[in-house]
Amino acid sequence: MGNVRSFRWLITIMIASLTLVLMACGSDSGENDEGSAGKSEGGTSEQVINLVTTEEVPTLKSNGQIDGLSSTVMTNLFEGLYRLDEEHIPTEGIAESHDVNEGGDEYVFHLREDANWADGTPVTADDFVYAWKKAIHPDTVSPHANLMEEIANSKDIQDPDSDIYGEVDELGIEAIDDKTLEVKLDVPIPYFINLTAHPVYLPQKEEFVEDQGEDYAIEAEHVLENGPFVMEEWKHDDYWTLVKNDEYWDSENVEIEEVVTNVVKDSATAINLYEVGDVDVVNLSSDFVDLHEGDEEMKTSLEFEMYFLRFNQKNEYLSNVNIRKALDMGWDKEEAANAILKNGSKPIHHIIPEGFSFSPDEVDFRDKYEGFNMGSIEEAQEYWEKGLEELGVDSIDLELLSYDDEQRSTMAEYIRNQLQSNLDGLTINIHQQPNKVKLDLEDKLDYDISYSGWRGSVQDPTYFLEIWESDGPYNWQDFSNKEYDELVEGAKRDLSDPDKRFEDMQEAERILLEEEAAISTMYQSGTARLVKPYVKGFVAHPNTTNSYKWLSIEK
Amino acid sequence: MKRYVISRIIFMLITLLIIISFTFFLMQTLPGSPFNDEQLSEFQREQMNERYGLNEPVPKQYLNYLTNLVKGDLGVSFQYDGRPVTGIIKERIGTSAVLGIQSLIFGTIIGLALGIIGALYHNTTIDYASIIIAVIGLSIPNFVFAGLLQYWVGVKLEWLPVAFWRGFEYTILPTIALSMFVIATVARYIRTEMIEVLSEDYMLTAKSKGLSRFTMIWRHGVRNSMIPIITIMGPLVVSLVTGTLIVEKIFSIPGLGDQFVDSILTNDYPVIMGVTIFYSALFIFVVFVVDLLYGVLDPRIRLSGGDK
């Protein structure tokens, strides 16, 4: 009977495919057992560490769309003129030393004689010239080219209306010889050395990059490193393995042999992996912090990432300064950070982080004003009544645009509840959106209040303050104050009197927060993580990157 | 038969074209845009849009896309700095396929066993136990199983790996989690069908012919109960693919499902299109195979005119 035969045939196929699948998996495990994230079995003191991250690394091109994770991977694979040390201070990297002229706008970097690429060829000044010119070139569309704005002619090269548009050879950088690099600046910015530690300032070896063409840096074998590690394996969306680079000039001080980063998108899974010892460091979201409170393995670190509520002044109610002050002071920032986030985030009444910027006499920016609008709920209510009176209304409806992740939406809920119960007649509706959509709405000023954040990738106060310049591209809230504009613009352009500049920036912050209450500062972002006791030297920088150079396993 | 297959293939292509067009135009209404990063200046955003042809009128973009598609070029990802979409799909599809097929086979076998036993011991404790298992499998979502298995088998007992996809032992927990739904569905259908088949006249004939109980049940009972299983295979494959979205996430499996969600959240148009086309083609193909199988399994269902 034909049917019986076909039925047998079906069963045969099912069994055959099952066998095939099993075989395929069997051989897979055979191959992968070694290199991959196999546990470093207890007892051995193998220098292997397993880390987790929530996403695939987006790019390894120093002129690409670098985010925090890309920066971490790149600063461990490559090295620029300077790199951040364990105390987050720029220290000599490929540059052994530098000279700067009196005006502060001409730098000469002396590269290390023993600085090599992973293929054994020397890192030369030309490698920097090539990479920087490429980053500046308009066709590259490097999102971080703005960090190179102060290098001579950089702005004009990127300006389509200028005579030298696209002519990167006009850039103020020159290889004097193989190991000497000269850089000229348009503006003598005091934080230039700091900038050279950023990934956009990394060198690229022209010969190698051009050879790889479109494939450059999209797979492990298409990367040429000059940093403490080389990328041995990159299995997209799964894991990548960095191993110690023996060609690195300081390799004798790198103890860790292998760093495996695993992509784990689910936070509960990451913690389960930590519990069984498959990973050695894991970040904790706020709902897991409770479970590990008081745990010795829990560590926190602070980032230069500041969160605040933007008040859109296109909104008739929010254009009233008393209403803004009431909204700023009408909720408990301390409780929000300590009871809702619980991850080491710090409540703030300021926008320039502590330990971020220092005067010429090494005084912290924060020493002058600890914070602004630190008044009580009663004061907030007084402002509120005053504001309502001026507006001639007795109730106000506002929309709060917020992120869609759990932690930050809980935060938004908290703020809404606080404000609604403290300020009579106020109704707030929360509008949660994925980040891309949220940015779009902010850009179009299509919101009332928005939960926003900014990261200080450049350690200078102007990097935060310029957001609120009247014509600033990220103003996004129709804020405008002439005095503020003058102070910030002055600080950006005129660096002749560093002391006055510093005071001007402090004054600008005061105007923004105390006088105008343009935003309601929320918290400085922190990260809580569990670190196995045998992991030493895990360095989390405030710019959200991590350095593996000083890592070691001590069992 | 041949004519039937050819006409079906033509219809399949038309269906695919309609899906591609719909997705393409729907995607234009997605809020946000791929390059609205805070880090990019206005001018740079324009440049990016220009580079990827996003500044062109939509109908033009659509035609460009179709032309490239015919050439087998699905474009490059926005999210991952120029990595080709075909590469992204290729890298991940193997994993998702292994997980899906393994769950389907495992689930079907266990489901069949449960269903047959349930039917044979109709209205006994064994039957009730199999019904309870089926109800649990149907009503509890697979991510709950995934979480429970991960915690108890992975963390507490340490019998199997907690997550990742690096060898056979890593596939066991996700396969079980994902196959619960298959087990339940198959068991339910087989049980009902078997009870009906067992009371058919031909079963009596078989018995009177003196066939052994095993031969009788296997040859006449089970085979005749298989038809409904083939019917639900199509929807099951679909539910497996969607089910992998969350199970892949929980077990950190680098599959296609998770990538799909990410690409939507980041407005990575080429990846959204590529994965949609891939999934649609897969579904259309599965439905087609299921239809063919009907004819093979049951000669009463003829696919084309009676001339054979």
C-alpha dist (Å) from residue A444 to A430, A448, B32, B68 = 18, 11, 11, 33
Is the pLDDT score of A407 beyond 50? yes
- Cβ of residue A41 closer than 8 Å to a chain B Cβ: no
Q: Tell me the average pLDDT across A540-554.
A: 94
> Which of A219, A266, A454 is best to mutate for the B interface (most B CBs within 10 A)?
A266
- Between CA B69 and CA B92 the distance in angstroms is 20
- Report pLDDT for A24: 43
Nearest-angstrom CA–CA distance, B74 and B70: 9
Average pLDDT of the segment spanning A8-26: 47
pLDDT band at residue A20 under the 50/70/90 scheme: very low
ipTM over 0.85 threshold? no
Q: Quick count: other Cβ atoms within 10 Å of Cβ B297?
A: 19
Q: In whole numbers, what is the pLDDT of chain A averaged over residues?
A: 89
Radius of gyration of chain A (CA): 27
Are A10 and B297 a contacting pair at CB < 8 A? yes
CATH number of A302-527: 3.10.105.10
Res B140 pLDDT > 60: yes
Amino acid, res. A250: D
What is the torsion angle, in degrees rounded to the nearest 10, for the CA atoms of residue B74, residue B79, residue B83 and residue B89?
A: -60
C-beta of residue A135 within 8 angstroms of C-beta of residue A200:
yes
d(CA B174, CA A239): 19
The amino acid that residue A408 corresponds to is R
User: pLDDT confidence of A36, banded at 50, 70, 90?
Assistant: very low
Give residue-wise pLDDT tens across range B231-264.
Answer: 787 778 877 876 788 899 999 998 888 788 888 8
Q: What are A340-392's pLDDT values in tens digits? A: 888 889 999 999 999 999 998 999 999 999 999 998 999 999 999 999 999 99
CATH 3.90.76.10 segments of chain A: 79-218
- Nearest residue to B238 via CA among B286, B291, B288, B180: B286
**pLDDT, tens digit (0-9, with 9 covering 90-100), for A464-481:** 999 999 988 789 999 999
Q: Which of chain B's residues have a Cβ under 8 Å away from the Cβ of A439?
A: 32, 36-38
Residue B308: is its pLDDT beyond 70? no
pLDDT at A366: 95
* pLDDT bucket at B48, cuts 50 / 70 / 90: confident
Measured CA to CA, the distance from residue A192 to residue A80 in angstroms comes to 13
- Residue B106 phi, psi (nearest 5): -60, -45
Whether B141 and chain A come into contact, CB under 8 Å, resolves to: no
Say if residue B174's pLDDT is above 70: yes
Residue type, B288: F
**Cβ atoms of A546 and A282 closer than 8 Å:** no
Give me the residues paired with residue A52 across strands.
A262
Interfacial B residues in 214-233 facing A (CB < 8 Å): 219, 223, 226
Q: What is the mean pLDDT of chain B?
A: 86
pLDDT value at A74 more than 60? yes
Fold of A79-218: Dipeptide-binding Protein; domain 1 (3.90.76)
> Using the 8-state DSSP alphabet, how is residue A116 labeled?
B
Name the residue with higher pLDDT: A18 or B178: B178
Rounded to a whole number, what is the distance in Å from the CA of B110 to chain A's nearest CA?
13
Start and end residues for every CATH 3.40.190.10 domain found in chain A: 2-54+230-280+532-553
Any residues with CB less than 8 A from the CB of B273 and at least 6 apart, and which? B20, B23, B24, B27, B65, B74, B75, B85
Condensed to tens digits (0 to 9), the pLDDT of residues A273-310 reads: 999 999 999 999 877 888 888 889 999 999 999 999 99
The whole-model pTM stands at 0.84
C-alpha separations of A274 from A48, A265, B40, B225 in Å:
15, 14, 37, 47
Best-predicted range by mean pLDDT among A106-120, A455-469, B98-112, B241-255?
Answer: A106-120
User: B304 pLDDT band (50/70/90 cuts)?
Assistant: low
Position A3 scores a pLDDT of 45
What is the band of A256 on the pLDDT scale with cuts at 50, 70, 90? Answer: very high
In this prediction, residue A1 carries a pLDDT of 40
Give, as one character, the DSSP assignment of residue A253.
G
Q: What percent of chain B is predicted at pLDDT more than 70?
A: 95
Q: Which long-range contacts (CB under 8 A, 24 or more apart) does A12-16 make?
A: A14/B105, A14/B108
pLDDT band for position B49 (cuts 50, 70, 90): confident
- Lowest mean pLDDT segment, chosen from A32-46, A239-253, B105-119: A32-46
Q: Would you give the end-to-end CA distance of chain A in angstroms?
A: 69
Domain with CATH 3.10.105.10 in chain A: 302-527
A518 in Cβ contact with A311 (< 8 Å): yes
pLDDT value of position B297: 67
Question: Residue A92: beta bridge partners?
Answer: A82
Please identify among residues 93-152 of chain A the ones whose CB lies closer than 8 Å to any CB of chain B: 138-139, 141, 143-146
Task: State yes or no: pLDDT of A4 exceeds 50.
Answer: no
Q: Which of A340, A346, A337, A334 is nearest to A286 (CA)?
A: A340
Answer for the pair B286, B231: CB distance below 8 angstroms, yes or no.
no
Give B53→chain A minimum CA distance, Å.
Answer: 14
Interface contact flag, B164 A37, Cβ < 8 Å: yes
The correct answer on CATH 2.170.260.10 for the domain covering A2-54+230-280+532-553 is: no
Choose the closest CB to A56 out of B80, B166, B297.
B80
pLDDT value at A12 more than 70: no
Q: Is B250 on the interface with A (CB under 8 A)?
A: yes
Tokens of A168: 């990167």
A-contacting residues in B 3-42 (Cβ below 8 Å): 31-34, 36-42
Mutual orientation of helices B85-120 and A2-32 as an angle, nearest 10°? Answer: 130
CB A253 within 8 A of CB A548: no
Record: contact A4-B219, CB cut-off 8 A:
yes
pLDDT number for residue A33: 38
Phi, psi angle pair for A139, to nearest 5°: -65, -20
The answer to whether A233 and A220 are in contact (CB under 8 A) is: yes
From chain B, the residues in CB contact with A139 under 8 A are 47
Q: When comparing pLDDT for B237 and A446, which is higher?
A: A446
Chain A contact for B254 (CB, 8 A cutoff): yes
Determine contact: A437 vs chain B, CB below 8 A: yes
User: Taking CB atoms and an 8 Å cutoff, what residues of chain A touch B33?
Assistant: 436, 440
Looking at residue B301, its pLDDT comes to 62
Decide if pLDDT at A147 tops 60: yes
- Is residue A146's pLDDT more than 90? no
Query: B193-198: long-range contacts at Cβ-Cβ below 8 A with a sequence spacing of 24 or more?
Result: B193/B224, B193/B225, B193/B227, B193/B228, B194/B115, B194/B116, B194/B118, B194/B119, B194/B120, B194/B221, B194/B222, B194/B225, B195/B119, B195/B122, B197/B221, B197/B224, B197/B225, B198/B119, B198/B120
